[in-house]
C-alpha cells in the first residue's frame, strides 16, 4: 500500500511492468479523475512532436488522468503544474531542479524530467517521466547521478503524487498562481533559439500570465511565443 496523503491524484493507481506509453493507455481508458498509470518501462515513450522518450527500467514513467473544469485558456497551464511538482519532488531529495520552458526540468542544464500533456475530450493527460535509477541518455541526467546512489522509486512516486495533488488543488482554485509558481522556477534571462516555424534567436526574458515565453529579439522587439510546437535551445 502506498498510503498516499492525496485527495484526488493517486486514488487509483494502475501499474504495468511494460507498456507502450503511459499517456496512450491513459488516453484510451475510461477511468475516474486522478487515476495514475505507471509502468516500469515504456516501449514507445514519446516526447512532443512524436520525439522518442527513452524509458528503461529504473525511471519513473507515469500519467495522471485529470478532468479539470476550467476555462479553455487554462488547460495549457497543466504542463507547469507537472514541472513544479517535479521540481518540488527533487527538492525533497535535495536536488535543485529548474524549469526549462515549457515542459522540461533540468539539473545542471541537463534534462532530468520531461512533461507531456495531451487533451482528449474532457480528459487532460499529464504525462511525467523522471530519470531516477536508470542510465539517462546523452545530455540527460538521473537522480542517481546527482546523488551518487540509487533511491527508492516508490518513495519518489509517492512524493511526486502528493506534490501534484497539492498543486492541482491550487490550480483548480487559481490557475494563474500555477504560472506564477512556475515563473519563479524557470530558467530566464538567457539567450535562446526558438525552433518551430523557422528559427528565432533572442533572450528568454520572462513568461506572461498565460505562460507564453516573452522573447526579446536583437532589435529590442518583444515576441511572445505560445508553446504549441516549438522547441527551445539554450545558446
State the nearest-atom distance from the C-beta of 172 to ligand ADP, in Å: 26
Give least dist CB 230 to ligand ADP, A: 8
- R_g (Cα) of the chain, nearest Å: 17
- Residue 94 to residue 92: CA distance in whole angstroms: 5
Q: Are 37 and 62 within 8 A, CB to CB?
A: yes
Residue with smaller CB distance to ligand ADP, 82 or 140:
140
As measured in angstroms, the least distance from the Cβ of 12 to ligand ADP is: 26
Is 56 or 170 the residue whose CB approaches ligand ADP more closely? Answer: 56
Contacts of 184 (CB under 8 A, 6+ apart): none
Cβ nearer to ligand ADP, comparing 60 with 124: 60
- The minimum distance between CB 195 and ligand ADP, in angstroms, equals 8
* Residues found near ligand ADP in the complex (CB under 6 A): 47-48, 51-54, 103-104, 111, 114, 129, 131, 136-137, 140, 231
Residue nearest to ligand ADP (CB): 47
Instruction: Quickly list DSSP for 20-77.
Output: S-HHHHHHHS---TT-EEEEEEESS-B-GGG-B----BTBEEEEEEE-----GGGGGG
Q: Which is nearer to ligand ADP, 21 or 35 (CB)?
A: 21
Give the single-character DSSP code of 226: -
Amino acid at each position: 500500500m502506498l498510503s498516499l496523503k492525496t485527495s484526488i491524484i493517486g486514488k487509483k493507481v494502475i501499474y504495468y511492468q511494460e507498456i507502450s506509453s503511459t499517456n496512450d493507455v491513459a488516453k484510451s481508458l475510461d477511468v475516474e479523475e486522478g487515476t495514475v498509470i505507471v509502468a516500469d518501462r515504456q516501449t514507445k515513450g514519446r516526447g512532443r512532436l512524436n520525439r522518442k522518450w527513452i524509458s528503461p527500467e529504473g525511471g519513473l514513467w507515469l500519467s495522471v488522468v485529470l478532468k479539470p473544469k476550467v476555462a479553455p485558456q487554462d488547460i495549457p497551464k497543466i504542463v507547469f503544474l507537472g514541472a513544479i511538482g517535479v521540481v518540488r519532488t527533487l527538492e525533497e531529495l535535495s536536488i535543485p531542479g529548474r524549469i526549462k520552458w515549457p515542459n522540461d526540468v533540468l539539473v545542471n542544464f541537463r534534462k532530468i524530467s520531461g512533461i507531456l500533456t495531451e487533451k482528449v475530450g474532457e480528459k487532460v493527460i499529464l504525462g511525467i517521466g523522471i530519470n531516477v535509477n536508470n542510465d539517462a541518455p546523452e545530455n540527460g541526467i538521473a537522480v542517481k547521478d546527482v546523488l551518487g546512489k540509487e533511491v527508492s522509486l516508490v518513495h519518489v512516486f509517492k512524493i511526486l503524487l502528493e506534490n501534484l495533488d497539492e498543486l492541482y488543488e491550487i490550480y483548480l482554485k487559481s490557475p494563474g498562481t500555477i504560472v506564477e509558481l512556475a515563473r519563479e522556477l524557470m530558467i530566464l534571462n538567457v539567450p535562446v533559439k526558438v525552433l518551430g516555424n523557422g528559427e528565432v534567436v533572442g533572450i528568454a526574458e520572462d513568461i506572461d500570465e498565460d505562460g507564453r515565453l516573452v522573447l526579446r529579439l536583437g532589435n529590442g522587439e518583444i515576441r511572445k511565443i505560445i508553446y504549441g510546437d516549438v522547441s527551445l535551445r539554450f545558446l
